[in-house]
């Protein structure tokens, strides 16, 4: 499975869009990009995933570059409750589902 | 509400004792997983199971054991052979199909003294 690189921390003002970058330059053609977040002392929460196309759901948007070597998670209107560690993970679509977590980005939403 | 239940949330044990962590899901998911998280680090895979009565070792299986007698349940036993058992343990499940995301429980924090 490919590895990812994320900044260790980011700040965002409440109400503004939070853009979290992720590099995955060794991603393979059949590997998906997943985003999870974890609030302290809770289990990770699934946010969104994609293969090639940009994706949007009720929580966030995922923008994947054309060469698929990087992606950006966008929280359109960040709130204080979005303060968490955000993990970007790449994983093949096979049945094993071995998610390999890095150390993620700590997003601090400021009032 | 469908979900994954881990119990208890906090668990304390003396060194040398085995301890079993519970994980139950009512999502009708085929696959279940156990991860371990240490402070400031990401999650590491201990064991996973894709079907009842079958399971596979993950990256750090030494000192742990599991069983999968029912689809809904995947208990993890931390044995006395685990050198550093104090950690946050997370259970997850997923549908057994391509790209299906994992859904996590809220974890059990185990402290061994």
Q: Which string of b and e fits A61-98 if b means at least 16 CB within 10 Å?
A: bbbbeeebebbbbbbeebeeebbbbbbbbbbbeeebbb
Q: Picking from A7-16, B7-16, B37-46, which range would have the lowest pLDDT averaged per residue?
A: B37-46
Q: Which residues of B touch A (CB under 8 A)?
A: 4, 6, 31, 33, 35, 40-45, 48, 50, 58, 88, 90, 92, 94, 96-107, 109
Q: How far apart are CA A7 and CA A22, in angstroms?
A: 8
Pick the more confident residue, A101 or B102: B102
Structure confidence at residue A99 as a pLDDT band (50, 70, 90): confident
DSSP string, B97-108: STTPPPEE---E
DSSP string, B2-16: --EEEE-SEEEE-TT
A76 contacts chain B (CB < 8 A): no
Question: B48 and A102 in contact by Cβ < 8 A?
Answer: no
pLDDT digits (tens, 9 = 90+) for A31-52: 899 999 999 889 999 999 999 9
Q: What is the largest CA-CA distance in chain A?
A: 42
Structure confidence at residue A11 as a pLDDT band (50, 70, 90): very high
């Amino acid at each position: 499975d490919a590895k990812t690189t994320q900044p260790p921390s980011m700040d965002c003002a409440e109400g503004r869009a939070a853009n979290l970058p992720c590099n995955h330059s060794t991603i393979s053609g059949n590997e998906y990009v997943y985003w999870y977040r974890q609030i302290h002392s809770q289990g990770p929460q699934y946010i969104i995933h994609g293969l090639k196309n940009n994706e949007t759901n009720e929580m966030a948007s995922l923008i994947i570059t054309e060469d698929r070597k990087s992606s950006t998670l966008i929280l359109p209107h960040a709130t204080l409750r979005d303060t968490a560690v955000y993990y970007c993970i790449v994983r093949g679509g096979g049945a094993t589902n071995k998610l390999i977590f890095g150390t993620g980005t700590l997003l601090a939403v400021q009032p | 509400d469908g979900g994954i239940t881990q119990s208890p949330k906090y668990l304390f044990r003396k060194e040398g004792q085995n301890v079993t962590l519970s994980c139950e899901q009512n999502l009708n998911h085929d696959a279940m997983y156990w991860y371990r998280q240490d402070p400031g680090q990401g999650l590491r895979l201990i064991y996973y199971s894709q079907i009842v009565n079958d399971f596979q070792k993950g990256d750090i299986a030494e000192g742990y054991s599991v069983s999968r007698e029912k689809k809904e349940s995947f208990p993890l036993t931390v044995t006395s052979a685990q050198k550093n058992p104090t950690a946050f343990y997370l259970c997850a499940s997923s549908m057994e199909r391509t790209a299906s995301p994992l859904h996590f429980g809220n974890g059990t924090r185990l402290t061994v003294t």
